[in-house]
Amino acid sequence: MTNRFIRFLVGFIVLCVLGAAGAAAAENVVLSTGFEDGTTQGWGPRGTETVAAVKGIAHSGSYSLAVTKRTLTWNGAIHELPGPLSAGAVYHVSLWAMCNNGPAKPRVTLSAEKSYQDTSAAHVYSNVKTFTLTQGEWSLLEADYTVPGDKGLARVDIYLETPYKADAQVTDEDRYDIYMDDVTITRLGAEQMISIQTGIPGLRDVLAPWFTIGAAVPPAFVDRTDVHSSLLIKHFSTLVAGNAMKPDALQPKEGEFNWKDADAIVSFAGLTGMTVRGHTLLWHNQIPDWFFTDPKDPSKPATRELLLQRMKTHIQTVVEHFAGDVASWDVVNEVLSDRSGLRSLSEGSKWLSIIGPDYIEKAFLYAREADPDAQLVINDYNLESDPRKLAEMYTLVKGLKARKIPVDAVGFQMHISMYAPSVQEIKTAIEKIASLGVKVVITEMDVSIYRDDSQQAVPMTPELLKAQGARYKELFDLFKAEAKKGIIDTVVMWGCADDDTWLDNFPVMGRPNAPLFFDRRLQAKPAYWAVVDPSKM
């Protein structure tokens, strides 16, 4: 062969490979539109709402897709997911959304509807991910959907709706319009699909000599076709519902309990040998307004007697429902003020103003009556960073104990950062509370990569993640020492991996964070190795 021919051959092969790679990448995009031709591009309504391409409101170009005249929460634009629907195939959905009416922080949920070859079989709906927007602003929504292995699955449709409310409970506030633009759906190639690392030690096994390690989860993660379920089984021994056991999820309307999502988490935990913590019986957030209003005149507050009775019914119905399955309850959450004393109306809580300070002890007494065996916890944040708040918690729990109120433990949420507070401050806080003769539970841990709210998004460099690992190491060394003293037996992370953390949207909307042990592709981070084997960090 001449040199010239060899060069030609090599060039030809390189071109073929590049061409094939390019073609494969292009084929991966299965749907992409900015609605610029003024049509809906195959998107349609789910109910009686109007779905149309509109000019003048757009994220880019001049058109977007408008969903208006929604009457029920499940109304929204829907599109068939392009096949073939091979089980395990992962679709990445990326779109911009905007709501220009309704609440200040409208929420939209990307959901999937499955239908079956057996056309008489009921369709099955699942929520893929819920996003909180800011009214009037376009936000990028991104989520992965894995095609499940359901027998006889014929088709999957994806759609954008708003968080579920029973039809009769829907008000005009819930009927906000949804605009969508620049939608791209990509079918990930096998090499891009997420799978967990199987050859590494399970966190739960490594930490078992000291404490149980838990994670807060949405119900979607306990679906066996979702790869997160494998991560949970391998690494965690306790689960908490991130939202599904809060009052608004369990009792959206007085007397109508909705157990589905919470039950799914509890039954997954039972089948996979995990325990469950319940979060939370009473809070000032994520609780429906009906609790606090007079049923005859909604402009008036409920009376003390009525609110106490509603609180008792809620606590006892919920605790009895999960008795035997939920071993520990956050009975009250965030009852302390960030300024002084108990949280009041000015900080969003109606419990104190309507009932008075004894609402806390009543909540514990009701919970104890409903389950004599569950651990009952008072849960709060910043106890480790705010000495004033810590002192108030100390006094509060001391008083409750003196009056024989069944408080078994104080929950330290432990939403902290890489930079503060110091291990010494955390140790002092934990031991001060433990001196009251109660346990300490770490209930919602995450370690933000940001110093404060004002810091701009930073790149997640290997150095940054290593520094986070070093921080995790010192924190877990402290927890192990406290475990040896019998003070801590449970540490719960507020999420199982960085692809699902509330810190992406709090305290700064849309600023990506990376506060947990596993990254957005569920791979072990330095933080994981810091706890499992620091020599591999």
Residue 413 makes contact with ligand XIL by CB under 6 A? yes
380 labelled catalytic: yes
Residue 134 makes contact with ligand XIL by CB under 6 A? no
Which residue in the list 161, 330, 444, 482 is annotated as catalytic? 444
Provide, rounded to whole angstroms, the least separation between the CB of residue 499 and ligand XIL: 13
Provide, rounded to whole angstroms, the least separation between the CB of residue 425 and ligand XIL: 20
Provide, rounded to whole angstroms, the least separation between the CB of residue 444 and ligand XIL: 6
Q: Check if the beta carbon of residue 431 is closer than 8 Å to that of residue 423.
A: no
> What whole-number distance in Å separates Cα of residue 327 and Cα of residue 408?
12
Provide, rounded to whole angstroms, the least separation between the CB of residue 411 and ligand XIL: 9
Closest CA to 390 of 362, 363, 421, 418: 421
Residue 59, C-beta contacts closer than 8 angstroms, at least 6 positions apart = 34, 96, 98, 138, 181, 182
- According to CB under 6 A, which residues from 364 to 403 bind ligand XIL? none
Tokens of 99: 């709501």
Residue 498 makes contact with ligand XIL by CB under 6 A? no
Nearer to ligand XIL, 69 or 107 (CB): 107
Nearer to ligand XIL, 102 or 469 (CB): 102
Residue 139 makes contact with ligand XIL by CB under 6 A? no
Nearer to ligand XIL, 257 or 502 (CB): 502
Q: Check if the beta carbon of residue 243 is closer than 8 Å to that of residue 130.
A: no
Nearer to ligand XIL, 148 or 495 (CB): 495
Tokens of 280: 């939370």
Q: Check if the beta carbon of residue 516 is closer than 8 Å to that of residue 446.
A: yes
Q: If binding means CB under 6 A, how many residues of this protein chain bind ligand XIL?
A: 6
Which residue in the list 181, 226, 330, 334 is annotated as catalytic? 334
Nearer to ligand XIL, 210 or 506 (CB): 506
> What whole-number distance in Å separates Cα of residue 359 and Cα of residue 454?
36
144, 444, 498, 519: which one contacts ligand XIL (CB under 6 A)? Answer: 444
Q: Peptide bond before 317: cis, by omega within 30 degrees of 0?
A: no
193, 225, 502, 512: which one contacts ligand XIL (CB under 6 A)? Answer: 502
Nearer to ligand XIL, 244 or 405 (CB): 244
Residue 490 makes contact with ligand XIL by CB under 6 A? no
Q: Which residue is nearest to ligand XIL (CB)?
A: 502
Provide, rounded to whole angstroms, the least separation between the CB of residue 414 and ligand XIL: 10
Residue type, 283: W
> What whole-number distance in Å separates Cα of residue 486 and Cα of residue 209?
12
- According to CB under 6 A, which residues from 229 to 258 bind ligand XIL? 242-243
> What whole-number distance in Å separates Cα of residue 506 and Cα of residue 144?
21
Provide, rounded to whole angstroms, the least separation between the CB of residue 461 and ligand XIL: 26
463 labelled catalytic: no
Residue 446 makes contact with ligand XIL by CB under 6 A? no
533 CB neighbour count, 10 Å cutoff: 12
Residue 261 makes contact with ligand XIL by CB under 6 A? no
Nearer to ligand XIL, 130 or 186 (CB): 130
Provide, rounded to whole angstroms, the least separation between the CB of residue 248 and ligand XIL: 10
> What whole-number distance in Å separates Cα of residue 9 and Cα of residue 221?
50
Residue 106 makes contact with ligand XIL by CB under 6 A? no
- According to CB under 6 A, which residues from 328 to 357 bind ligand XIL? 333
Identify the three-state secondary structure at position 528: helix
> What whole-number distance in Å separates Cα of residue 21 and Cα of residue 17?
6
DSSP states of 30-50: EEEE--TTSS-TT-EESSS-E
Residue 482 makes contact with ligand XIL by CB under 6 A? no
Q: Buried b / exposed e across 115-150, counting CB within 10 Å, b at 16+? A: bbeeeeeeeeebbbbbbbbeeeebbebebbbbbbee
Residue 510 makes contact with ligand XIL by CB under 6 A? no
Nearer to ligand XIL, 187 or 279 (CB): 279
Residue 504 makes contact with ligand XIL by CB under 6 A? no
Tokens of 105: 């922080």
Residue 102 makes contact with ligand XIL by CB under 6 A? no
Provide, rounded to whole angstroms, the least separation between the CB of residue 201 and ligand XIL: 27
Which residue in the list 182, 380, 384, 498 is annotated as catalytic? 380
Residue 148 makes contact with ligand XIL by CB under 6 A? no
23 CB neighbour count, 10 Å cutoff: 10
Nearer to ligand XIL, 182 or 384 (CB): 384
DSSP states of 352-418: HHHH-TTHHHHHHHHHHHH-TTSEEEEEESSTTT-HHHHHHHHHHHHHHHHTT----EEEE--EEES
Nearer to ligand XIL, 492 or 527 (CB): 492
Looking up tokens 């030809």 gives 12
> What whole-number distance in Å separates Cα of residue 377 and Cα of residue 375?
6
Residue type, 73: T
Residue 219 makes contact with ligand XIL by CB under 6 A? no
Question: What is the sign, positive or negative, of the torsion defined by CA atoms of 130, 136, 137, 138?
Answer: positive
Provide, rounded to whole angstroms, the least separation between the CB of residue 537 and ligand XIL: 28
Provide, rounded to whole angstroms, the least separation between the CB of residue 447 and ligand XIL: 14
Contacts with ligand XIL by CB under 6 A lie at 242-243, 333, 413, 444, 502
What residues act catalytically?
A: 334, 380, 444
